[in-house]
Amino acid sequence: MTAGKERRPRPATLHRSDRRAAAFLAGPHVGTFTTLRPDGAPHVTAIRFTWDPDAGLARVLTVASARKARNITGHTPGARVALCQVAGFRWLTLEGAATLSVDPERIAEGVRRYLDRYGSAPPAPPDRVVIDIEVDRLVGLNL
Protein backbone atom coordinates (compact mmCIF):
# COMPACT_ATOMS: atom_id res chain seq x y z
CA MET A 1 0.00 0.00 0.00
CA THR A 2 1.29 3.42 -0.92
CA ALA A 3 1.70 5.90 1.94
CA GLY A 4 -1.31 8.17 2.25
CA LYS A 5 -3.60 6.01 0.08
CA GLU A 6 -6.38 3.93 1.52
CA ARG A 7 -6.92 0.42 0.29
CA ARG A 8 -10.24 0.21 -1.51
CA PRO A 9 -12.54 -2.74 -0.94
CA ARG A 10 -12.78 -5.11 -3.88
CA PRO A 11 -15.84 -6.99 -5.11
CA ALA A 12 -16.06 -10.56 -3.85
CA THR A 13 -17.60 -13.68 -5.32
CA LEU A 14 -20.09 -15.11 -2.85
CA HIS A 15 -21.80 -18.47 -2.37
CA ARG A 16 -25.56 -18.46 -2.77
CA SER A 17 -25.96 -19.44 0.90
CA ASP A 18 -23.96 -16.42 2.10
CA ARG A 19 -25.93 -14.86 4.97
CA ARG A 20 -24.86 -11.33 4.07
CA ALA A 21 -26.20 -11.76 0.54
CA ALA A 22 -29.44 -13.30 1.81
CA ALA A 23 -29.98 -10.45 4.28
CA PHE A 24 -29.30 -7.82 1.61
CA LEU A 25 -31.67 -9.52 -0.85
CA ALA A 26 -34.43 -9.80 1.77
CA GLY A 27 -34.96 -6.04 1.98
CA PRO A 28 -37.55 -4.34 -0.24
CA HIS A 29 -35.01 -2.92 -2.69
CA VAL A 30 -35.40 -2.53 -6.43
CA GLY A 31 -32.74 -3.64 -8.85
CA THR A 32 -31.74 -3.61 -12.47
CA PHE A 33 -32.21 -6.48 -14.88
CA THR A 34 -29.94 -6.82 -17.90
CA THR A 35 -30.79 -8.95 -20.93
CA LEU A 36 -29.42 -8.87 -24.45
CA ARG A 37 -31.44 -7.59 -27.39
CA PRO A 38 -31.40 -9.59 -30.64
CA ASP A 39 -28.64 -7.29 -31.97
CA GLY A 40 -26.50 -8.03 -28.89
CA ALA A 41 -26.98 -4.62 -27.25
CA PRO A 42 -27.78 -4.68 -23.52
CA HIS A 43 -31.30 -3.88 -22.37
CA VAL A 44 -31.33 -2.67 -18.74
CA THR A 45 -34.53 -2.04 -16.84
CA ALA A 46 -35.52 -1.33 -13.24
CA ILE A 47 -37.34 -4.26 -11.64
CA ARG A 48 -38.43 -5.85 -8.41
CA PHE A 49 -37.33 -9.45 -7.98
CA THR A 50 -37.19 -12.27 -5.47
CA TRP A 51 -34.37 -14.56 -4.36
CA ASP A 52 -34.60 -18.18 -3.21
CA PRO A 53 -31.14 -19.04 -1.85
CA ASP A 54 -32.02 -22.70 -1.25
CA ALA A 55 -32.89 -23.23 -4.92
CA GLY A 56 -30.40 -20.66 -6.23
CA LEU A 57 -33.29 -19.11 -8.12
CA ALA A 58 -34.18 -15.47 -8.72
CA ARG A 59 -37.58 -14.57 -10.13
CA VAL A 60 -38.84 -11.58 -12.08
CA LEU A 61 -42.53 -11.13 -12.80
CA THR A 62 -43.38 -9.36 -16.04
CA VAL A 63 -45.65 -9.60 -19.08
CA ALA A 64 -44.98 -11.70 -22.16
CA SER A 65 -44.86 -8.64 -24.42
CA ALA A 66 -42.16 -6.85 -22.39
CA ARG A 67 -38.79 -6.34 -24.08
CA LYS A 68 -37.01 -8.28 -21.28
CA ALA A 69 -39.30 -11.29 -21.82
CA ARG A 70 -38.92 -11.14 -25.60
CA ASN A 71 -35.12 -10.92 -25.23
CA ILE A 72 -35.13 -14.19 -23.29
CA THR A 73 -37.46 -16.06 -25.63
CA GLY A 74 -35.59 -14.73 -28.67
CA HIS A 75 -32.31 -16.36 -27.63
CA THR A 76 -31.27 -19.96 -27.26
CA PRO A 77 -32.59 -21.57 -24.06
CA GLY A 78 -30.71 -20.50 -20.96
CA ALA A 79 -29.91 -16.95 -22.09
CA ARG A 80 -27.42 -15.27 -19.72
CA VAL A 81 -28.80 -12.37 -17.69
CA ALA A 82 -27.77 -10.25 -14.71
CA LEU A 83 -29.70 -8.76 -11.81
CA CYS A 84 -28.08 -6.04 -9.72
CA GLN A 85 -29.27 -4.57 -6.46
CA VAL A 86 -27.68 -1.38 -5.11
CA ALA A 87 -28.13 0.41 -1.79
CA GLY A 88 -25.65 3.23 -1.24
CA PHE A 89 -22.18 1.77 -1.57
CA ARG A 90 -23.41 -1.81 -1.20
CA TRP A 91 -24.25 -3.83 -4.28
CA LEU A 92 -24.81 -7.41 -5.34
CA THR A 93 -25.00 -8.83 -8.86
CA LEU A 94 -26.64 -12.19 -9.57
CA GLU A 95 -25.82 -13.82 -12.90
CA GLY A 96 -27.30 -16.91 -14.48
CA ALA A 97 -29.36 -18.62 -17.14
CA ALA A 98 -32.91 -17.37 -17.64
CA THR A 99 -36.04 -19.14 -18.76
CA LEU A 100 -39.51 -17.72 -19.23
CA SER A 101 -42.52 -19.60 -17.89
CA VAL A 102 -46.27 -19.27 -18.27
CA ASP A 103 -46.87 -22.13 -15.80
CA PRO A 104 -49.49 -20.94 -13.27
CA GLU A 105 -47.75 -22.71 -10.37
CA ARG A 106 -44.41 -21.06 -11.11
CA ILE A 107 -46.08 -17.67 -11.50
CA ALA A 108 -47.96 -18.19 -8.21
CA GLU A 109 -44.67 -18.97 -6.44
CA GLY A 110 -43.19 -15.77 -7.85
CA VAL A 111 -46.21 -13.81 -6.63
CA ARG A 112 -46.00 -15.39 -3.15
CA ARG A 113 -42.31 -14.54 -2.80
CA TYR A 114 -42.89 -11.02 -4.16
CA LEU A 115 -45.58 -10.42 -1.54
CA ASP A 116 -43.25 -11.72 1.20
CA ARG A 117 -40.40 -9.45 0.10
CA TYR A 118 -42.22 -6.25 -0.81
CA GLY A 119 -45.29 -6.43 1.45
CA SER A 120 -47.76 -5.82 -1.37
CA ALA A 121 -49.05 -7.83 -4.28
CA PRO A 122 -47.48 -7.26 -7.70
CA PRO A 123 -49.58 -6.00 -10.60
CA ALA A 124 -51.74 -8.76 -12.11
CA PRO A 125 -51.91 -8.23 -15.88
CA PRO A 126 -53.61 -10.99 -17.90
CA ASP A 127 -50.44 -11.98 -19.79
CA ARG A 128 -48.21 -12.22 -16.70
CA VAL A 129 -45.20 -14.54 -16.94
CA VAL A 130 -42.29 -15.30 -14.66
CA ILE A 131 -38.62 -15.23 -15.59
CA ASP A 132 -36.67 -17.79 -13.58
CA ILE A 133 -32.93 -17.20 -13.30
CA GLU A 134 -30.76 -20.13 -12.23
CA VAL A 135 -28.08 -18.09 -10.48
CA ASP A 136 -24.58 -19.48 -10.83
CA ARG A 137 -22.59 -16.40 -9.82
CA LEU A 138 -23.00 -13.77 -7.10
CA VAL A 139 -20.60 -10.85 -6.87
CA GLY A 140 -20.94 -8.14 -4.27
CA LEU A 141 -19.28 -5.28 -2.46
CA ASN A 142 -19.62 -3.96 1.09
CA LEU A 143 -22.23 -6.46 2.23
pLDDT reported for residue 9 = 78
In a domain, 134, yes or no: yes
Residue 130 has pLDDT above 50, yes or no: yes
Give dist(CA 34, CA 123) in Å, integer. Answer: 21
The band of 60, judged by pLDDT with boundaries at 50, 70 and 90, is: very high
17 pLDDT band, cuts 50/70/90, is confident
pTM of the model: 0.89
The DSSP H or E segment spanning 112 is helix 104-118
Condensed to tens digits (0 to 9), the pLDDT of residues 37-52 reads: 989 899 999 999 999 9
Residue 5 lies in a domain: no
DSSP one-letter code for 48: -
Give the CATH number, domain containing residue 114. 2.30.110.10
Ramachandran region, residue 56 (left: φ > 0; alpha: ψ -120 to 50; beta: rest): left
- Find, among 65, 26, 66, 72, the residue nearest to 49 by Cα: 26
| Structural contact between residues 45 and 37, judged by C-beta atoms closer than 8 angstroms | no
